Homo-oligomer: A and B are copies of this chain.
Amino acid sequence: MNAEIICVGTELLLGNIVNTNAAFIAERISRLGIECYNQCVIGDNMDRCLSQLKESSSRSDIIILSGGLGPTEDDMTKEAVAKFTKLPLVEDAESRRSIEEYFAKRGIEPTENNWKQALIPKGAKAVPNANGTAPGIILETKNCTYILLPGPPIELEAMFDSQIMPYLQGLGAGVIFSRTVKIVGVGESKAETMIMDMIDAQSNPTIATYAKTGEVHIRVTAFGSDEKEAKKLVKPVVKELKARFGNSVYAAEDEISLEQSVVELLASNKMTLSTVESCTGGLISATIVSVPGASDVLKCGFVTYSNKAKRKLVGVKKGTLDKYGAVSKQTATEMAKGGAATSKSDVCISVTGLAGPGGGSAEKPVGLVYIGCSVKGEIKVKEFHFSGDRNKIRALSVKNALILARECILEYISKVNFG
């Protein structure tokens, strides 16, 4: 069984937005063992949509379209599919009701064009949209199944996982199962070298390495007639990878992020956390809070963007700031120390650095970042030189702060247990 993805939207063709929908859908269907050889993007244009449908339907069993289901005039994906399949558009009562409810809940008066969103091709199935007014549509025809999804990623992603995945699973082509072993502290080339014998010997499961920001992911993928069979093939390979990379492995499950592994490490050791952030401006605490259950470990966070805040909120000494500057090992140390003391938390992460674009000097260039971590009074500070723009430097700071925190906590635990 094969599928292809057609993303409809002039804003994609103009490069105003990045096509995250294609990557999201592709990743999901590849998990189901559905082959995908083509993705394409076309504008909100009837003729080009029809010509794309003609081509796609000649080569694919399933066509997944995203975008162009909005209430406005230029939205015409549904109309194009109806025209191509020669089916009239009819009102779906449930969709109308749900649009009514959506507006009533928000106390807004729907406009006439909103009702257009309740129309679906005759014989199709409307898929409820928990986050917007445009229902998705599943239309099965003799040659081809069309799946129409709303363009906004938050609507599309929730709908896909809750409703389209089960639908596609039901079509049953066999199952792909994969697990990702996630590693920090080892570069991609080195990681690949360490498992070259496994990569060379691979067939089913396959093994692939991916470099991510500050991480390497090793994906082990097996194909089986059912999930049980595929899982059984993956298991020993994951075990071997864990053995080879040891403590560098922070997770062996796709869903677990680095921040989640840090939250779990803290929770399982009944430790609490605080953060003191300068150039990251709250991004570390926000990343921690993105993990459900973060409330069990995060006591509080301080955004000490100004020198005054560094002094007042976490007691960095004026002398330290004057002598070494805000971006220094000494300041990072005092931030971590002061944050831990003020919040009475077991662990405190501190970050101070120059994210740019301005503010750099020959001695302290943009990209210089100090990350500190205090665990029960023991403080480690590392100096980093990141390259890239402001947001890249901040993202790398967050990633490396989490890596350092994990490292320090593991060291502390091993010392307590074996030292």
Contacts and interface: CB of A to CB of B under 8 A. Distances in A.
A60 interface: no
Interface stretch (A167-175, A291-299, A374-382): A291-299
Given A23-B15, A38-B42, A303 B285 contact: yes
A368 interface: no
A223 interface: no
Contacts of A277: 282
A282 B279 contact: no
A188 interface: yes
A40 to B, nearest CB: 4
B154 A388 contact: yes
Interface string A372-396: 0000000000000101111110110
Interface centre among A209, A301, A313 (most CB of B within 10 A): A301
Interface in A19-36: 19-20, 22-28, 30, 36
A372 to B, nearest CB: 17
A113 interface: yes
A23 B27 contact: no
A199 interface: yes
A360 interface: no
Task: Give this chain's copy count.
Answer: 2
A391 B364 CA distance: 35
Interface in A266-322: 275, 277, 279-286, 288-290, 292-295, 298-306, 308-309, 312-313
Given A27-B15, A37-B43, A282-B283, A292 B358 contact: yes
Interface string A67-80: 00011111000000
Contacts of A104: none
A210 B299 contact: no
A103 to B, nearest CB: 10
B295 A305 contact: yes
A394 B282 CA distance: 14
Nearest to A389: B158
Interface stretch (A138-146, A189-197, A232-240, A241-249): A189-197
Given A193-B111, A290-B391, A300 B313 contact: yes
A220 B407 CA distance: 51
A238 B105 CA distance: 33
Q: Which 5 A-B pairs have the closest CB atoms?
A: A281-B289, A282-B282, A15-B27, A301-B303, A15-B26
